[in-house]
Amino acid sequence: MRERLRVAKRWVVKVGSSLLTADGKGLDHAIITQWTEQIAALLNDGREVVLVSSGSIAEGVARLKLAERPTRVDQLQAAAAVGQMGLIRAYESQFEAYGKLTAQILLTHDDLADRRRYLNARGTLSTLLTHGVLPIVNENDTVTTDEIRLGDNDTLGAQVANLIDADVLVLLTDQQGLFNKDPRSHPDAQLLERANASDKHILALAGPAGSTLGSGGMRTKILAAERAAQNGTTTVIAHGREPNVLLRLRDGEPLGTMLTSDQKPLDARKRWLANHLRAKGTLILDDGACNVLLTRGSSLLAAGVTRCSGEYSRGELVACTDKQGKLIARGLTNYSSDDTRKLLGSSSEKFEQLLGYTGEPELMHRDNMIVLQ
């Protein structure tokens, strides 16, 4: 099963606050150096990596010389604003030494729940990965209260993994992985090397969340693995201070707990498109477009669409039929119904002239579409 990590192309690595901080006194630059070296090696090995990093509030608490983590939301947001500067500066300076470009991405859970913002975030991350850039993602704690009050970056890591169709999600923590008992009170507790992420019984093995600096815990990691598994992503929970943990995982060494999914990422996404969303509109295709979709599995271009019915926004599900009304495909559209009507029958070179801006070259990308014939 560890062979999955050997061949995994796209990685999401999440690092928690308890690992990033030096006894509550700001960032631990020595451990950041270790992860930087490992991630740079993954990038040099041809892997694509997105880093989801906690630590902004903890760093802000240290910079503001606060005696303890505040409880008021405005103070937490202020700490996050101050700490985010130090967090990104630490990463950028470290990766520069390896010739790697980094990009800061601040998200809220609402960004990933809204389909238009979801597609915007997906497009940005995909473009950055194409250019070999390392995106560093964090919850936007300066404007949201979700993570501060009861959320966690484990969930954000799973959402990012689903967003970019990651092969593997690595949750680095201050524990070795998931045990069959609480190892703090049971010396005979045994580490579970592998489990099914969809197995409801494993959630009962996870203890309550909470450390003084972080907002997550083993329970949130199991829930994150379950969420990631819905898109076919394999999750590994491992100790972040284990020497060369990321490179050893890449090489198939059995570290931590691997939570597997029975679904391949693309298959899981296609099933979601086929069964779990209601179409908000319909595109009627000409014979040529129908043939291309059915025989080549290509993206849908505006040139092959003759009519658009219904009212919908960018990112919503739209059905595709032939001239007789026979369902050919379903997928997430890159353009609203109003914009689509302006583009009917046109080549992508004319999009800017017709719309006043340059968007995606296709009405519907093949990765966001399922052909039903």
Indicate which CATH number applies to the domain containing 61.
Answer: 3.40.1160.10
Residue 351 lies in a domain: yes
In whole angstroms, give the CA distance from residue 214 to residue 181.
22
State percent of the chain over pLDDT 70. 87
Band (149; pLDDT cuts 50, 70, 90)? very low
The pLDDT assigned to 212 comes to 39
Q: Are residues 136 and 207 located together in one domain of the fold?
A: yes
* Location of structure tokens 């101050």: 82
**pLDDT at residue 311 tops 90:** yes
In whole angstroms, give the CA distance from residue 14 to residue 225.
12
Q: Are residues 71 and 163 located together in one domain of the fold?
A: yes
Residue ending a domain, choose from 264, 290, 321: 264
The pLDDT assigned to 213 comes to 39
Strands 369-371 and 327-332: antiparallel
Residue 271 lies in a domain: no
**pLDDT at residue 298 tops 60:** yes
The pLDDT assigned to 276 comes to 52
The pLDDT assigned to 52 comes to 95
Q: Are residues 150 and 292 located together in one domain of the fold?
A: no
- The predicted model gives 91-111 an average pLDDT of 91
The pLDDT assigned to 209 comes to 46
Average pLDDT for the chain: 86
- The predicted model gives 290-309 an average pLDDT of 94
Tokens of 358: 């340059």
Residue ending a domain, choose from 264, 296, 322: 264
In whole angstroms, give the CA distance from residue 327 to residue 155.
36
**pLDDT at residue 215 tops 50:** no
Give the CATH number, domain containing residue 290: 2.30.130.10
Residue 272 lies in a domain: no
**pLDDT at residue 114 tops 80:** no
Q: Are residues 317 and 225 located together in one domain of the fold?
A: no
**pLDDT at residue 37 tops 90:** yes
Beta-strand runs (E) in the chain: 10-15, 48-53, 102-107, 134-139, 168-173, 194-196, 234-239, 257-260, 281-285, 305-310, 317-321, 327-332, 369-371
User: Domain limits at 208?
Assistant: 3-264
Q: Are residues 311 and 226 located together in one domain of the fold?
A: no
**pLDDT at residue 344 tops 90:** yes
Q: Are residues 343 and 256 located together in one domain of the fold?
A: no
The Cα angle at residue 98 between residues 96 and 104, in degrees rounded to 5: 45
- The predicted model gives 23-50 an average pLDDT of 91
SS3 281: strand
Residue 260 lies in a domain: yes
**pLDDT at residue 153 tops 90:** no
CA 292, chain centre distance (Å): 31
Band (97; pLDDT cuts 50, 70, 90)? very high
Helix-strand-coil percent breakdown of the chain, rounded to 5?
Answer: 45, 20, 40
SS3 236: strand
In whole angstroms, give the CA distance from residue 170 to residue 240.
10
**pLDDT at residue 20 tops 90:** no
Residue 96 lies in a domain: yes
Which one is predicted more confidently, 148 or 22? Answer: 22
Query: 52-66, 300-314, 332-346: lowest mean pLDDT where?
Result: 52-66
The pLDDT assigned to 132 comes to 94
The pLDDT assigned to 227 comes to 84
The pLDDT assigned to 322 comes to 95
The pLDDT assigned to 271 comes to 63
**pLDDT at residue 264 tops 70:** no
Q: Are residues 230 and 310 located together in one domain of the fold?
A: no
- The predicted model gives 230-244 an average pLDDT of 91
Q: How many domains does the chain have?
A: 2
Q: Are residues 188 and 112 located together in one domain of the fold?
A: yes
The pLDDT assigned to 202 comes to 79
**pLDDT at residue 338 tops 80:** yes
Residue ending a domain, choose from 264, 298, 324: 264
**pLDDT at residue 218 tops 90:** no
The pLDDT assigned to 103 comes to 97
Per-residue exposure over 174-187, b if at least 16 CB sit within 10 Å of its own CB, e if not: ebbbbbeeebeeee
Residue 270 lies in a domain: no
**pLDDT at residue 61 tops 50:** yes
- The predicted model gives 222-250 an average pLDDT of 91
Q: Are residues 151 and 62 located together in one domain of the fold?
A: yes
Q: Are residues 44 and 116 located together in one domain of the fold?
A: yes
The pLDDT assigned to 96 comes to 96
Band (265; pLDDT cuts 50, 70, 90)? low
Q: Are residues 283 and 260 located together in one domain of the fold?
A: no
- The predicted model gives 195-211 an average pLDDT of 69
Band (123; pLDDT cuts 50, 70, 90)? confident
Which one is predicted more confidently, 217 or 355? Answer: 355
Taking the CA atoms of 147, 219, 125 and 239 in sequence, report the sign of the dihedral they define: positive
Residue 309 lies in a domain: yes
Q: For residue 221, which of 263, 179, 183 has the smallest C-alpha distance?
A: 179
- Angle, helices 73-96 vs 29-44, to 10°: value is 50
Residue 113 lies in a domain: yes
Q: Are residues 119 and 145 located together in one domain of the fold?
A: yes
